Structure 1
């Protein structure tokens, strides 16, 4: 059975400019590993023949990939894939509270990869959260929560914008209300307050970056970002935290591991 209009839609031309299409194909080969870290990209002559493109069009495509920090190279020289083309993040590795006195788990896990990871606190304020966060925290319409936002960096590059929301009845009177970083992170503090995490639920989506995300993450264009909404529950399925984490989709991937029952 043929769905009316499907064939026409399937055969619709790619409306992107040629240099964007060339960059998209090369980007896919880089992200999938067909072009491994340190590998040379095909020469300009080869790319011109492969894509039936002019020299100027090929150079525009390569410049996009350079701006996206996927490749390096100078005009007239070979273009190679950056050594760290894409980082794999394993959320399960840093979801549990850090041991007493230890740094926030995300920082310590990133450090195991031989990188210098840091966090910069951007804001601490009472705020009306987005609708999906409000629903996760069981807030009434127009209700407020405590917002703690930060940007995480690796080797000096911003990698993730993190906006964490907490019920005010849990946050008031604690260090969470103060504009300073918390040793071990808020998961450690919540556990010490008697609200240890028992369940975390992630929803991951790909989106066009907002203006804030574009600026904070220093994105090169309108490539999608990965947005993870994580809701953390304590005893009796009580939501104690809802966090929106946004990272550049072309530089990071998420790895989840499951076992069958």
Structure 2
């Protein structure tokens, strides 16, 4: 299928090697270059992109740094096993059953990967403006923050900052700097605030300095930022979470019923 190219007249100000890497990255992530496939030769890429050998090598190095391809000088460069993971938010909503692990861990295990969560901080803070608005807080009000980083197979892939109304959190395990068995959805349900509705707002952003370092970004690839508002009975917001994922590692899948 031929896709029409739209020329708006706007100039692509990225370096040529970044533009080449972007085109090849899209072909890898869309499956046009499947796992195990060899990338076109350097000579073919030079002709396709009207670029020098040095520029092609810089483009390929970007993809190697992102661990999308493997290869060395003088050898063919091949596509690694696809690392992009399809996330289905609905699979993580229900509280874990008695004695079960947090659903993020069990869902990752189904994909044959080993997941781990590291709790970074717990404490009362003034949340960001969008979080404060979602929780219905007045100016200057605080919320309880539980901040963690999630890793898969030893690689950090997501930063998670969850905020809770202090009148719900105080005096509970939410305030303790330790993992909560079964996850916070199960604890909220036990406290009388079962999750009834979850609404996600997803945006693509350039990573902040903290996100860049914590997620060990190889370049300034965008991150996916999800603002999730969880409501309980009566529509009360009981948890607002900001999740930041490495953009080239994830896609989100939402299923809807017509009507």
Paired position in structure 1 for 2:235: 237
Preserved CA contact (<8 Å) 1:91 1:255: yes
Q: What is the TM-score with the length of structure 2 in the denominator?
A: 0.96
Q: Where do 4+ consecutive residues of structure 1 move more than 4 Å?
A: none
Question: Which residue of 1 is the match for residue 4 of structure 2?
Answer: none
Q: Which residue of 1 aligns with 2:89?
A: 91
Q: Is the Cα contact below 8 Å between 1:151 and 1:160 reproduced in 2?
A: yes
The equivalent residue for 1:29 is: 27
**In 2, Cα distance between the equivalents of 1:15 and 1:49?**
21
Q: Of 37, 40, 45, which aligns to 2:38? A: 40
The correspondence for 1:104, drawn from 89, 99, 102, is 102
CA distance in 1, matches of 2:13, 2:131: 36
SS at 1:125 equivalent? strand
Aligned-partner Cα distance in 1 for 2:251–2:88: 9
Partners of 1:158 and 1:192 in 2: CA distance? 30
Alpha-carbon offset, residue 11 of structure 1: 1.1
Q: Who is 1:55 aligned against?
A: 53
Q: Contact (CA 8 Å) 1:123, 1:149: kept in 2 or not? A: yes
* 1:84 positional shift: 2.8
CA contact (8 A) 2:29 2:82 kept: no
Asked if the contact 1:43/1:78 (under 8 Å) is kept, the reply is yes
Counterpart of 1:154?
A: 152
Please report how far the alpha carbon of residue 13 of structure 1 lies from its aligned counterpart in structure 2 after TM superposition: 2.3
Deviates more, 1:90-99 or 1:200-209: 90-99
Match of 1:213 in 2: 211
Counterpart for residue 202 of structure 1: 200
Aligned to 1:259: 257
Identify which of 139, 142, 149 aligns with 1:141.
139
For residues 191 and 245 of structure 2, the distance between their equivalents in structure 1, rounded to whole angstroms, comes to 30
Question: What are the superposed Cα offsets for residues 202-253 of structure 1, whole Å, 9 maximum, x if unpaired?
Answer: 0000000011110111001111100000000000000000000001111111
Give, in whole Å, the separation in 1 of the partners of 2:80 and 2:254: 25
Distance apart, 1:76 and its partner CA: 1.6
Match of 1:79 in 2: 77
CA RMSD of aligned residues (A): 1.0
8 A Cα contact 1:37 1:85, kept in partner: no
Q: How far apart are the structure 1 equivalents of 2:30 and 2:83? A: 10
CA distance in 2, matches of 1:136, 1:240: 10
Deviates more, 1:98-107 or 1:84-93: 84-93
Residue in structure 2 matched with residue 129 of structure 1 by the alignment: 127
Structure 2 residue aligned with 1:14: 12
Contact 1:30–1:85 (8 Å) recurs in 2: no
